[in-house]
Amino acid sequence: MFVRLAAVAAFVAAPAAAADLAQVQAHLRSVGTMTADFSQTDQMGKTLTGTLTLKQPGRIRFQYQPGVPLLIVGDGHALTMIDYKVAQVSRWPVGDSPLALLINPSRDISRYAHIIPSGRPDRLLVEGRDPKHPEFGTITIGFTIAPAAPGGLVMAGWTVLDAQGNQSTVVLTNQKFNQPVSDRMFQWRDPRPQNRGH
């Protein structure tokens, strides 16, 4: 009897999960721009804060708090991390990052993401990973239900677990949607003496 009830519950829950995932997709596609304050905590408990700027298609900027010499910028094709303290620039394809779920809303997210239980009626949790490339890691994104927001959702933050087991969590506050954002926000100064022009 228990197995039969569980099967019925799963059958009922499947359409609801599909509808929730479709709502997430609609939200991502309706956000042309977003700005937010963020708080990023690593698995050692160290927390950094800063400002997130997102502009579709594919552009994202993590501007860390004053005194932190790091900048992360995405141009739609790759993510670039600039460490101004050591004058180092690292670059990797967006597809190699769990953040691809956030900055490529044209993709059908049902191919690599699914709804997981949140335990709260006002919160949706989406877990995304590429089954063909587990080395890219897993991202779990939280959305708060807010009827006045684009697609009826507000992105609350996410947790990334990489292939080495390292975990970091980002919490967003003061989200603002679809306000003008200059393309200059996604330019950056190259600290390497032999490379200029960004």
What average pLDDT does this structure show over 24-36? 94
Superfamily of domain 2-186: Lipoprotein localisation LolA/LolB/LppX (2.50.20.10)
Q: Encode pLDDT of 90-144 as tens digits.
A: 998 877 677 777 777 677 888 888 999 999 999 999 998 877 777 778 999 999 9
Q: What sign for the dihedral angle of Cα 128, 132, 135, 136? A: negative
What average pLDDT does this structure show over 74-98? 87
Range among 61-70, 87-96, 155-164 with highest mean pLDDT value = 61-70
- The pLDDT assigned to 1 comes to 43
- The pLDDT assigned to 196 comes to 53
Share of the chain above pLDDT 90, in %: 61
**pTM to 2 decimal places:** 0.84
Of 35-49, 84-98, 140-154, 162-176, give the lowest mean pLDDT range: 84-98
Q: Residue by residue, what is the 3-state secondary structure of the chain? A: CHHHHHHHHHHHHHHHHHHHHHHHHHHHHHCCEEEEEEEEEECCCCEEEEEEEEECCCEEEEEECCCCCEEEEEECCEEEEEECCCCEEEEEEHHHCCCHHHHCCCCCHHHCEEEECCCCCCEEEEEECCCCCHHHCEEEEEEEECCCCHHHEEEEEEEEECCCCCEEEEEEEEEEECCCCCHHHHCCCCCCCCCCCC
Domain ranges of the chain: 2-186
